[in-house]
Chain A
């Protein structure tokens, strides 16, 4: 095939994944939504099959076809929707997903394992199909061979000028039709081809009249053209009203009637004899004194045309044509790499802008100062909108967990429901991509260890159905994701005992509840009494914590024994650019994320005391000079920057307050991988490097110190 395979295949892959997601949520909602959900599932499978066929992805077509046949029977009510069927169809959905992945990797035709994996599913599906299994197994390509009882369709296509530019080749659509039936003839209409000079070689001016033998239904034939619907006028003339329909059409375009008639004959859609007869009938009618009535209308009267059929079909097509553009105008698919590049450029722009600002301030030319300040505010807006482009709602990620909960609940034999809230909270796409695995782990853990078996729940007076909840909200420049369950909660004493046994805690030490609960994030800590398939294999919460910390986030756990557990994950909204508050210690510059800065106060040294009285409350502080081992005498006038991270609040003692600057976050090199308290670096306007403070680590340290001091 000579069409732009990369770009179009990418569209196919992206759309298929979207459809698979719709299919999955419909499958999970089938018990509640009934027929609507079944229809949605069928549509998704059908569309994937149609587009896959267009690309000649036979393994996808063959497999999806079997699933679709079963769905068709479900739709007709011939097969009842059972839990087993839903589980099977979910499995099929996953397999289609795997096939689509293989398409992306380009290994679809060579991956024998994948084909093997599909066999049991196909066998199970055919169990539902019963007697008709044999036919279902043979893909549509084979159906074309058995065209004995098929109808003759006539398809008329007029492509829009942009089809070729959009990477589609009309030729491939016609080739694909050949897989669904037999193309009896094609006439290429090049009437719209302009004169040589006006001819744009990259525009499409062609139309096609196609005669087509197939037992496929109209929707299936129509589905072939899903990808070009917006770029193409499609007219499909069904077998039942052939001649009459053509004549009605001829009436619409009287100027071309002879040529059209000729074309129909050439396509094999009408025999010359049939056409002659019909035209003669029309002529007779005219002679009889009813010249105004077009022949289509006459034939409808005679019962030769099924008017409602035509109308319904037309209305449907119209509807499809109207609803699509609206949807598509609202959003544009953009390659994520392009966005990343844009964000990188904006980052460079900010750094360059800061440099210009610095020069302007040094020269003190009023006009230049004015220009640079306008420029800075514009750059800031550009930054915000650029970052906004990468923001996605967390809802899509949350909804994936419906499936996880469904599957895991089945596996565990527990009845568990997932409650989702705060789906509209937005965060950076790069963060969303990386949060999936840790969240999955937390949800599985909650289901496996958190929710008790039904009998225990009943004994505790809880509802038999357990609940796992996902919630998200924004809080001071972070997004907070909570995973909670209404299960047994953490057993404080058991965790402590185990921690002592593992040598994580010295016996006899007093620890707060929070500290004890946070012990389960230590490497090699697993309290599951029973090792299950899901968790308790020793790789658990420590991996979750490590993944979250790698995203500059933090994780906390709160639990009430007998009532449930809540794990709170706190993540930065973006990994790219932040508003930073710069502070100086000696010659070094550090950056504090602006959203965490509460206020700045004056610092008075009191030897031996590492807290200050902030409006009647003690505020612990950290001397950054000591923490980072910066040499030299402290400045005469020092300040405290009061920062808040989650529930903890502390002060940072610094020499100078430099003010608010936009900060482009650059990762620290591998050399600094072991550096605590730092989460990244940034380049200043004068080319120097500033280090970004890791608030979670710094404040965590303060809290531990103060608790230790109390104990």
Chain B
């Protein structure tokens, strides 16, 4: 499992790899929120998320809402099949606005 930033500066993209579940929720929260707060155009690369549960979903929703509060838009890039499947099942629109 890895959390890596691919580029610095204004348009940073944060890649979440491995599980995005309750097991890592506590670890991921500060990283995600930090990314949202420090960059002007935050983006999450979800291509390598292998597992995704409700805790993961909550993290995404919370990060997206925080971005909205700060007047930014959190881009979710290349969601992996695990993420897409869960969001589809739960009726969550990944490209939509903060709920």
Contacts and interface: CB of A to CB of B under 8 A. Distances in A.
B75 interface: no
Contact of B33 (A186, A196, A204): A196
A169 B54 contact: yes
B76 interface: no
A266 B89 CA distance: 13
A10 interface: no
23 contacts: A2-B22, A164-B25, A164-B55, A169-B22, A170-B54, A171-B54, A171-B57, A171-B90, A175-B89, A186-B90, A188-B92, A193-B61, A193-B62, A193-B99, A196-B66, A199-B62, A201-B25, A201-B55, A201-B62, A202-B26, A206-B54, A206-B57, A266-B91
Interface string A334-346: 0000000000000
A321 to B, nearest CB: 22
**Closest A-B pairs by Cβ, 6 of them:** A201-B25, A201-B29, A196-B66, A186-B91, A2-B51, A169-B53
B91 to A, nearest CB: 4
A301 to B, nearest CB: 35
Interface of B: 19, 21-22, 25-26, 28-29, 33, 51-55, 57-59, 61-63, 65-66, 69, 86, 89-92, 99
B58 A201 contact: yes
Interface in A164-201: 164-165, 169-171, 174-175, 178, 183, 185-188, 190-191, 193, 195-196, 199, 201
Nearest to A205: B58
A174 B29 contact: no
Contacts of B61: 190, 193
B73 to A, nearest CB: 16
A521 interface: no
Contacts of B57: 171, 188, 206
Interface of A: 2-4, 164-165, 169-171, 174-175, 178, 183, 185-188, 190-191, 193, 195-196, 199, 201-202, 204-206, 208, 266-267
Contacts of B65: 193, 196
A183 B91 CA distance: 11
A185 B90 CA distance: 8
Nearest to B27: A201
A178 B58 CA distance: 22
Given A2-B22, A169-B53, A186-B91, 14 more contacts: A2-B52, A164-B22, A169-B22, A169-B55, A171-B53, A186-B89, A190-B61, A190-B99, A193-B61, A193-B99, A196-B65, A202-B25, A206-B54, A267-B91
A170 B53 CA distance: 8
Contacts of B22: 2, 4, 164-165, 169, 202
A165 B65 CA distance: 23
A186 B29 CA distance: 25
Main secondary structure of the interface of B (DSSP, over half): helix
A266 B28 CA distance: 31
Nearest to A189: B99
Contact of A2 (B26, B53, B58, B59): B53
A266 B52 CA distance: 24
A164 B54 CA distance: 8
A567 B26 CA distance: 60
A219 to B, nearest CB: 24
A441 to B, nearest CB: 47
Nearest to A178: B89
A19 B65 CA distance: 45
A634 to B, nearest CB: 68
A206 B89 contact: no
A191 B61 CA distance: 10
Contact of B21 (A2, A187, A191, A199): A2
A655 to B, nearest CB: 62
A208 to B, nearest CB: 7
A171 B86 contact: yes
B16 to A, nearest CB: 13
Nearest to B22: A164
Contacts of B26: 201-202
Interface centre among A3, A186, A199, A206 (most CB of B within 10 A): A199
Contacts of B69: 195-196
A204 B86 contact: no
Contacts of A193: 58, 61-62, 65, 99
Given A169-B54, A190-B99, A201 B91 contact: no
Contacts of B63: 196
B89 A171 contact: yes
B91 A3 contact: no
Nearest to A166: B22
Nearest to A202: B25
Nearest to A159: B54
Contact of B90 (A178, A204, A208): A208
A178 B99 CA distance: 25
A188 B90 contact: yes
Nearest to A211: B91
B41 to A, nearest CB: 18
A206 B52 CA distance: 15
A167 to B, nearest CB: 8
Contacts of A174: 89-90
Contacts of B21: 2, 169
A208 B92 CA distance: 11
Contacts of B33: 196
Contacts of A266: 91
